[in-house]
């Protein structure tokens, strides 16, 4: 796992933090594999106990991570013997509170970029910048130089030159405030590992939705005027798809196009011939879509819950996107600085409710010279 510079610096200043971050990354991959069904993630499943090889369960990792987190926070806070006082007493210690959420922020920053790349890396270029910085992307023109016939006695043809465009992205700050009882976390009554995982999931989901909405808005704004300039159509047909796939591949320098969409959209990708037949053990019946059709690959995007509406889905089920993943990614996503966190005192509120606020800045925009198309099915 490649860590960002500020996490490396934090781990070097506090050596006890590095093993904790590594264990959380392993725990996070195990969590996503077991709870969310994400495949091809790397995490430990075997360990050694009393000199014997044993299976490591997700519950084992959660217990170990919570215990070692508390031990690390106490050690960083300079508390040599935490057993001399109850957990609730240590929870009001200012250094305990500060180190708790400093470590949680480092955990979030350690896994967030990697998680985003796994989820939206097909169309999004994810980059990190420092606080107060902005990102500028140079966009090279995709045009080629004109080659013309000329007489043998002519010294040169008409001079040609291309100029790069630029797209600047300014990150915007987001906040997430949650209620948490620090003493319950430190005493083990509440799982710190699950709290950190939910914070990562919440932030990752919002970042991914912002990137997807930017991508979807740009795709639906493509030209639908029939002719060579058409890159958007309504109604699935085999001829329209092949036409768009050829355009996308050709104008992306030969990078092979592929179709992506949700499973509900991709199941519409079938031959125009109404007399086709498929067996019960065919790929279409087993997967719900065809992985390769008409010479082009297809990829299903997992749906994402839309928390703004009851049981809503965030990704568009009516659109098939045609793009070349090997070409320049259309969306540029910039993550600024570190995840900031701060907690109010547990006795500040009249009802003794303690809140923690996380702040993270990011921005996204379309910045590409690649060509893509879409079909509304």
Minimal CA–CA distance to 211: which of 115, 325, 116?
Answer: 116
Question: What is the number of residues in the chain?
Answer: 377
Of the pLDDT bands very low, low, confident and very high (cuts 50, 70, 90), residue 111 is confident
Residue 186's pLDDT is what?
Answer: 65
Residue 279 has a pLDDT of 74
pLDDT at position 5:
65
**pLDDT tier at 219 (50, 70, 90 boundaries)?**
very high
Query: What pLDDT does 2 receive?
Result: 55
* pLDDT at position 317: 92
Q: What is the pLDDT confidence band of residue 351, given thresholds at 50, 70 and 90?
A: low
**Crossing angle of the two packed helices 17-35 and 192-220, in degrees rounded to 10:** 60
Give the separation between CA 242 and CA 248, rounded to whole angstroms. 10
**Which of 44-58, 141-155, 167-181, 334-348 is predicted least confidently?**
44-58
Measure the CA–CA gap between 302 and 312, rounded to whole angstroms: 14
Q: Is the pLDDT of residue 221 over 90?
A: yes
pLDDT (0 to 100) of residue 203? 87
- Winning range, highest mean pLDDT, from 4-8, 57-61, 232-236, 354-358: 232-236
pLDDT of residue 183: 66
pLDDT tens by residue, 118-131:
778 888 888 888 88
pLDDT at 188 over 70: no
pLDDT at 50 over 80: no
User: Using CB atoms within 10 A of its CB, is residue 139 exposed (0-12), middle (13-18) or buried (19+)?
Assistant: middle
DSSP string, 270-307: --S-TT----TTSHHHHHSS-SEETTEEEEEPPP-EET
pLDDT attached to residue 192: 75
Runs of H (alpha helix) within 121-158: none
Which of these, 359, 371, 343, lies nearest to 100 by C-alpha position? 343
pLDDT value of position 185: 67
- Binned at pLDDT 50, 70 and 90, residue 158 comes out as confident
Q: Does residue 363 have a pLDDT over 80?
A: yes
**3 state SS of 213:** helix
Q: Does pLDDT of 7 surpass 90?
A: no
């Amino acid at each position: 796992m490649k860590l960002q510079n500020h996490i490396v610096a934090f781990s070097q200043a506090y050596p006890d933090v590095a093993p904790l971050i590594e264990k959380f990354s392993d725990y996070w991959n195990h969590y996503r594999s077991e709870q969310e069904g994400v495949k091809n993630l790397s995490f430990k499943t075997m360990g050694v106990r009393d000199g014997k090889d044993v299976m490591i369960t997700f519950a084992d990792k959660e217990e170990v991570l919570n215990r070692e987190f508390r031990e690390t926070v106490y050690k960083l806070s300079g508390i040599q013997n935490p057993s001399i006082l109850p957990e609730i007493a240590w929870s009001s210690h200012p250094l305990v509170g500060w180190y708790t959420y400093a470590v949680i922020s480092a955990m979030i920053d350690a896994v967030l970029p990697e998680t985003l790349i796994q989820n939206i890396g097909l169309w999004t270029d994810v980059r990190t910048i420092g606080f107060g910085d902005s990102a500028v992307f140079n966009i090279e023109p995709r045009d080629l130089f004109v080659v013309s016939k000329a007489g043998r006695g002519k010294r040169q043809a008409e001079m040609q030159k291309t100029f790069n465009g630029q797209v600047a992205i300014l990150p915007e700050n987001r906040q997430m405030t949650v209620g948490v009882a620090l003493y319950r976390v430190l005493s083990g009554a509440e799982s710190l590992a699950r709290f950190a995982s939910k914070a990562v999931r919440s932030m990752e989901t919002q970042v991914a939705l912002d990137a997807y909405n930017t991508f979807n808005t740009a795709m639906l704004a493509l030209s639908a005027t029939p002719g060579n300039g058409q890159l958007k159509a309504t109604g699935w047909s085999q001829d329209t798809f092949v036409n768009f796939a050829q355009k996308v591949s050709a104008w992306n320098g030969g990078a092979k196009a592929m179709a992506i969409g949700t499973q509900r959209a991709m199941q519409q990708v079938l031959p125009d011939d109404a007399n086709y037949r498929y067996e019960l053990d065919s790929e279409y019946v087993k997967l719900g879509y065809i992985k390769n059709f008409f010479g082009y690959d297809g990829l299903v995007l997992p749906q994402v819950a839309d928390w703004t509406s009851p049981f809503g889905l965030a990704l568009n089920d009516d659109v098939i996107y045609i793009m070349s993943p090997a070409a320049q990614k259309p969306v540029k996503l910039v993550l600024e600085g570190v995840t900031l966190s701060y907690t109010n005192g547990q006795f500040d509120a009249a009802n003794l409710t303690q809140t923690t606020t996380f702040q993270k800045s990011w921005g996204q925009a379309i910045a590409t010279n690649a060509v893509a198309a879409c079909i509304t099915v």
